[in-house]
Structure 1
Amino acid sequence: MNTYEKIYQLHHLMETKTFQDLAGPYKVGVDLGTADVVLAVTDSFGNPVAGSMRWASVVRDGLVYDFRGATEIVHELKSEVEQIIGVKLEKGATAIPPGTVGRNALACSNVIAGAGLDPICQVDEPVAAARALNLEHGIVVDIGGGTTGVAVLKEGSLVFTADEPTGGTHISLVLAGAYGITFEEAEKLKKDSSNHQQIMPVIVPVIEKMATIVKRALNDQGDFTDYPVYVVGGTAYLDGFEYQFSKAFGRKVHVPPHPLLVTPLGIAMYS
């Protein structure tokens, strides 16, 4: 199963609430996002077994601010997947935005521990995405709800990571201001693909800022013009996003299928 097939398969399993009957031991990855929480399970070779997701606002700018809510959601997802596959999940991995340290970093591991998963690994979000994409040489941009993270890999080794505020939440704030609606209404507007053509001119400046964050981070590190660039995260679902980001970035970027699921799949692979 190639990289994109794995992503498609994970999406199918989550949509149908079914599982792929593969041999264990199983690996578990939990992605605590600003707008959602995803739990993904793979076999020892990184092939998807099952998964589940909840839309939730328990994290802000990469930091857990609703510890109890986050723990309850992960516990619910864990129980749901355990019922689907008929196996108790005991260990797991999670991820953090690059540069997150100290208690802020420990909070993510503490959340899954409180949900009944022994936290055995924690990885930078864009690094996890690179693992899912099987990327040995290139750049991964992970656009979360609150931040834009970037990781550069050369010959399979991580050479640089960075993270700055600006993500999907900022797009919703711009939409709320432009249309005179609440943040919650803006989130619904953004998630409905039938609205994407209408809202794109309004949110292009935010996409341009995301591209600028990545360009500035890379310019300070050297010449990466021959590195392929992949963009993941829920914001990349927006119709026209890939074109607008590429235009602002100055060269072609690639958005894989179901970009929201790439990072949680990679987290599981690190478990």
Structure 2
Amino acid sequence: MKKFDLRSINKELCNFANVINKNKVESKDYQDFNNKELKVGVDLGTSSIVLTILDNNNKIIYGDFAYDNAVRDGIVVNFLDSVNILKELKEKAEKVLHTELLTAAGAIPPQTGEKSKKIVSNVIEEAGFKCTNVIDEPTAAAKFLGIENGTVVDIGGGTTGITIFKDKKIIKVLDEPTGGFHMTLVLGGRYHISNKEAEKLKRDHSKEKEVFPIIKPVVEKMGVILNSMRPLITSPIIVVGGATNFEQFDATFAKIVGQPIYKPKYPEFVTPLGIALFDTRI
């Protein structure tokens, strides 16, 4: 397992962001790939589904995503929509890579139970993969980050998942239904607009100075959730997930927690990359 090194992590995340955002991968570079060497991660998020592909050396090969409304608070609520979106992502990736994708790993918020794990596995299988693993999201994030000791706070669209590690072992897990969707609800209520319009406003970085003071109480609540786990919290404290994508998030969260906070670049891609690392064929 690699050691936590924020500089190298940010380099990998910038590389992945370049791949996934441009969505331009020269297919000729990948014609010789053996599909049995590829590792695939599927992140069924509240606001998007992310597909991540690594080679057998964990080098980033390909990534893509699609916005969706098929998941709520970390739980799949529209099975068919999730399957169809994932099928489209899979077929698109296979055309680019000139190979069939055989297996994939998935993830769930912590403490959401075997039923949630089974649903995620079924979505992956129905989309045409063999599901090799379903782990909890903060554990996936920790794997990518190289955490042996520390606290991973994974703030997604629907939940805040917290996992505390000591000597490579999980000593405490907590999941609370507070995330980006709750920011959207607050914005919608403040401006009397639909959730769709509020979500668009939340994602508009040019509006952050206007938006953040309104959703700040939600961020502060996330900090309070973490504080409830004292004195078990270990350092470093690393926040990941799309809901952390505000410039003022770090300072606001750190003020509530009373400790330094580390937030990687493109925090929304940490967990998807970590999920792919668990696509093992034993």
Aligned match of 1:72: 84
Greater than 3 Å deviation, 4+ residue runs: 19-24
Is 1:9 paired with 2:7? no
Q: Distance in 1 between matches of 2:105 and 2:275?
A: 6
Separation in structure 2 between the aligned mates of residue 162 and residue 86 of structure 1, nearest angstrom: 41
Where does the alignment leave 5 or more consecutive residues of structure 2 unmatched? 1-6
1:243 aligns with 2:255: no
> CA separation in 2, counterparts of 1:4 and 1:204?
25
Identity of aligned residues (%): 39
Counterparts of residues 1-271 of structure 1 (less than 5 Å): 2-17=8-23, 18=25, 21=30, 25-216=37-228, 218-219=229-230, 222-224=231-233, 227-271=235-279
> Any stretches of 5+ residues in structure 1 without a counterpart?
none
How many angstroms apart in 1 are the aligned matches of 2:39 and 2:114?
A: 25
Aligned-partner Cα distance in 1 for 2:119–2:100:
23
Taking only aligned residues, the RMSD between alpha carbons, in angstroms, comes to 1.6
TM-score (norm 2): 0.91
The answer to whether the Cα contact below 8 Å between 2:9 and 2:264 also exists between their aligned partners in 1 is no
- Secondary structure at 2:111's aligned position in 1? coil
Equivalent residues of 1:39, 1:53 under 8 A apart: yes
Q: 1:189 is matched by which residue type in structure 2?
A: L
* CA deviation string 1:37-91 (max 9, x = no partner): 0000011222211010011110001111100000001111111111111121010
Tell me, in whole angstroms, the C-alpha distance in 2 between the residues paired with 1:59 and 1:168: 13
What is the TM-score of this pair, normalised by structure 1?
A: 0.94
1:197–1:239: 8 Å Cα contact kept in structure 2?
A: no
Matched residues in 1 for 2:169 and 2:18: separation? Answer: 31
Q: Return the alpha-carbon distance in structure 2 between the equivalents of residues 51 and 78 of structure 1.
A: 10
Q: Deviations over 1:141-184 (max 9, x none)?
A: 00111110011112222222110111000000000111111111
1:270 counterpart letter in structure 2: F
**Matched pairs, number:** 267
